Structure 1
């Protein structure tokens, strides 16, 4: 009895041994984040992730498009499939720690020469029905490390799905802003082209009366034709953007034309944008969490490779009924039980095990470098997008003032034209200058909203509470 207790205690101690390094977090893989964003405003507040960021743009069509994309885009379906693959692998790794039981039924017929009394051949029939079970003790934690790695792989796949949602929501929003920008600028361009048509007509009259040279008339026509030619590519861009939005939402090209044909105002960002701090950014961005979980998985796989250097102890058990006739299959006196312990140890493998460990350590180092690059890249994205957002606000304010001055100049030109102090052509030119200023203002507003989208993407927002994956178990 004492011997059995001692053996059980020794096995318990051996089972508690786990090969490989324990993962202690990614603190050493990347430098600590700064307390605040260098390019952020002084009054930055914490980020509220209770509602999706795109709702702050106040555009119901955009909200509908992103909702469709998050529920119907094939890229998200592929990412969700990778999660299911990782979870299935985790279940397999957990099952590897348990015994394997197989049922078997055997019938064998053998002819053995020279076994009978007269020296002739003997025919034997063998029937057997039973079970066999095998179980390998996880003495050095190789299976536990494999489960640990698979669990980290599941978490990395879930974070990758969240990252795909972040990128998709930003891509839909950017394409939508581009569409509204092109539609507004096309409308302004068409209005300016109509003014140029009138200018050409007036110039032709003056040329026919001989008050201007032919070269002046031809120049007006050339400018008008060039303006018309510039509108065609913009129409093609509008069609392409509508098709892109249709595909992003899981539909065929042209399926959203009815929703998007009518021009609408550009969505503009709110007056105040909360950005939080870099530490919260690193915890929130799903691509960083995915990189961290990959680092944890590669660290666990060092233990898997390390455990392979030590002895493997397994048990094979056989239980069955059988004999030389079918009746023996139901005869309990023919009951057979066998237990076969087995020890295997590749103690002389000429460095193969050590090479596998070195390879696992190199993969862990690569994952650590990838994590460090993800952290630094996230900080760079955030700082760059914040800088562009701030400068774009200033640019838009200048162009709004320029447009207001253009309106005042156009109104003054209208009054002077009606009073007869300037020609109508001069008034039309003033109107075209105003339209050019309006186009520049629209383009700057679109750039401001685009920079706002970049800020939200860099902060890792857009996925909270919108169909997130179930946590791994």
Structure 2
């Protein structure tokens, strides 16, 4: 007992030891005050903004809601949260006392014909043994505190990873839906072109019957019809591939959602612009930046873990054992205990421990560079999407006028051909121009929608929509 009283103040002193390694500080990046096509005002929290609703497409909204937490990538990231939570417990357990207990019982004896004939008592002994041991590695230099700090930062990164996966899902799903609707629209436009070209072929055959057109005119008109027929299957293939990918994103077998999309719908087109804020907002709202920053914090704490191993370690350990012997002749008990500290000094290890510190420092620097690269990539993605979106609006407006002009030109060319004022080539050229301008407009609307998606994803929009269910699942 005197030993325990003497060691208690020493233990309290040691428990208040220092924590080695650098204290983490959030990194900073020199960013411009505004985007090239943005304002200087910071944006509200965009992580909860359902930007896909700007398409006013109920089918798209339903698909997004259906797969928000059913997407397999999202589910995998949720599982990584559970793994990270267990790692926090594991890291904290190293700095806590460890107690183990055990017990056993044995019986021994002798029996035989000689002993039975003599009438003597059988020789029999029973032994009951119980004991326990305890050990506590005193965290003198904060090795386990830094390990827990690292594990907690990794847990934060795992939560951010869920939002990264969710944002990737939103981007992939909406662009796949846009692609499916584009192929449907292009197929429908080519069907209109096919009907128009067949009308031109019939007109050519009628004029030939009247002796005013040649076989060459008929062959050229037939060639344009067959060209259109050859293009139609490609759009059907594009639609089915996009629909199959949507099913996979929802965690369903391919073709599961095809029937629901076959009925068709208009091409998605955004109805309003996005408030993008300033570049500094990206650090707050982009989940991949948050994840990179948390991984940097985790790696920085690992430096402290490695440095703590350069210094002495102290362990307190003790054992208690007791046994009771029950024999035919006598009964008695025996007990023993021990308690004491042990000190471990790393004297010579071939530079292994110092090399481990250098490895962790290099890992932290690499993680800082990865964070910085993630920030710069985010700024670039926003700038690119802004430029593309602004130009897409102009392109779509111009192509709408081109389609109107091409439709009018085809009507005039056909009337002139009927009257014999122009050749069939003028009609065929007008047909091609109209068909090409329609497809170009549909493709431009697709690009407009895709860049709208890219812009919202680049600013981290909607990354926390559906976040609460994922958190609840991870806590179970």
- Please classify the TM superposition score into its range, dividing by the shorter chain length: 0.7 to 0.9
Contact persistence 1:68–1:250 (CA under 8 A)? no
Mean alpha-carbon deviation: is it higher for 125-134 or for 364-373? 125-134
Q: TM-score by structure 2 length?
A: 0.86
Q: Deviations over 1:98-122 (max 9, x none)?
A: 1111111245899xxxxxxxxxxxx
Contact persistence 1:18–1:141 (CA under 8 A)? yes
Q: Which residue of 2 aligns with 1:379?
A: 379
1:310 and 1:324 mapped to 2: Cα distance?
46
Residue 47 (structure 2) pairs with residue 46 (structure 1): no
Q: Which residue of 2 aligns with 1:195?
A: 196
Mean alpha-carbon deviation: is it higher for 222-231 or for 352-361? 222-231
**Secondary structure, counterpart of 1:97 in structure 2:** coil
Mean alpha-carbon deviation: is it higher for 441-450 or for 426-435? 426-435
Q: Which residue of 1 aligns with 2:294?
A: 293
CA-CA distance at 1:335 after TM superposition: 4.0
Q: Deviations over 1:218-252 (max 9, x none)?
A: 23222221221111111111111111111111111
Contact persistence 1:174–1:450 (CA under 8 A)? yes
Q: Which residue of 1 aligns with 2:91?
A: 93
2:90 and 2:274 mapped to 1: Cα distance?
46
Q: 1:23 to 1:42 in 2, by over 3 A?
A: closer
Number of residue pairs matched by the alignment: 456
Q: Which residue of 2 aligns with 1:118?
A: none
Q: Deviations over 1:435-455 (max 9, x none)?
A: 432322221111101100000
Q: Which residue of 1 aligns with 2:349?
A: 349
Mean alpha-carbon deviation: is it higher for 351-360 or for 424-433? 424-433
CA-CA distance at 1:338 after TM superposition: 1.9
Unaligned runs of 5+ in 1: 111-122
**Secondary structure, counterpart of 2:69 in structure 1:** helix
Q: 1:420 to 1:206 in 2, by over 3 A?
A: closer
2:164 and 2:192 mapped to 1: Cα distance?
42
Q: Deviations over 1:405-460 (max 9, x none)?
A: 33444565677789897799967865664443232222111110110000011111
1:216 and 1:436 mapped to 2: Cα distance?
21
Q: 1:60 to 1:11 in 2, by over 3 A?
A: same
Unaligned runs of 5+ in 2: 109-123
Contact persistence 1:69–1:169 (CA under 8 A)? no
**Secondary structure, counterpart of 1:71 in structure 2:** coil
CA-CA distance at 1:24 after TM superposition: 1.2
Q: Deviations over 1:148-184 (max 9, x none)?
A: 0000100111111101101100110001011111101
1:158 and 1:382 mapped to 2: Cα distance?
24
2:168 and 2:229 mapped to 1: Cα distance?
36
Q: Deviations over 1:111-148 (max 9, x none)?
A: xxxxxxxxxxxx99864212211111001000000000
1:13 and 1:454 mapped to 2: Cα distance?
55
Mean alpha-carbon deviation: is it higher for 252-261 or for 400-409? 400-409
Contact persistence 2:107–2:126 (CA under 8 A)? yes
Q: Which residue of 2 aligns with 1:115?
A: none
Contact persistence 1:15–1:141 (CA under 8 A)? no
Q: Which residue of 1 aligns with 2:139?
A: 138
Task: Give the aligned CA root-mean-square deviation in angstroms.
Answer: 3.3
Contact persistence 1:127–1:326 (CA under 8 A)? no
Mean alpha-carbon deviation: is it higher for 14-23 or for 278-287? 14-23
1:418 and 1:348 mapped to 2: Cα distance?
101
Q: 1:449 to 1:47 in 2, by over 3 A?
A: farther
Q: Which residue of 1 aligns with 2:259?
A: 258
**Secondary structure, counterpart of 2:463 in structure 1:** coil
2:42 and 2:224 mapped to 1: Cα distance?
50
CA-CA distance at 1:345 after TM superposition: 1.7
Q: 1:405 to 1:271 in 2, by over 3 A?
A: farther
Mean alpha-carbon deviation: is it higher for 397-406 or for 348-357? 397-406
Q: Which residue of 2 aligns with 1:119?
A: none
Q: Trace 1:387-402 onto structure 2 (pairs within 5 A).
A: 387-402=387-402
Q: Which residue of 2 aligns with 1:365?
A: 365
Q: TM-score by structure 1 length?
A: 0.87
CA-CA distance at 1:400 after TM superposition: 1.5
CA-CA distance at 1:305 after TM superposition: 0.7
CA-CA distance at 1:217 after TM superposition: 2.8
Q: Which residue of 2 aligns with 1:230?
A: 231
**Secondary structure, counterpart of 2:68 in structure 1:** helix
**Secondary structure, counterpart of 1:360 in structure 2:** helix
2:327 and 2:133 mapped to 1: Cα distance?
20
Q: Deviations over 1:368-410 (max 9, x none)?
A: 1111111111111111111111111111111122223334445
CA-CA distance at 1:283 after TM superposition: 1.4
1:4 and 1:319 mapped to 2: Cα distance?
18
CA-CA distance at 1:6 after TM superposition: 9.5
Contact persistence 2:180–2:239 (CA under 8 A)? yes
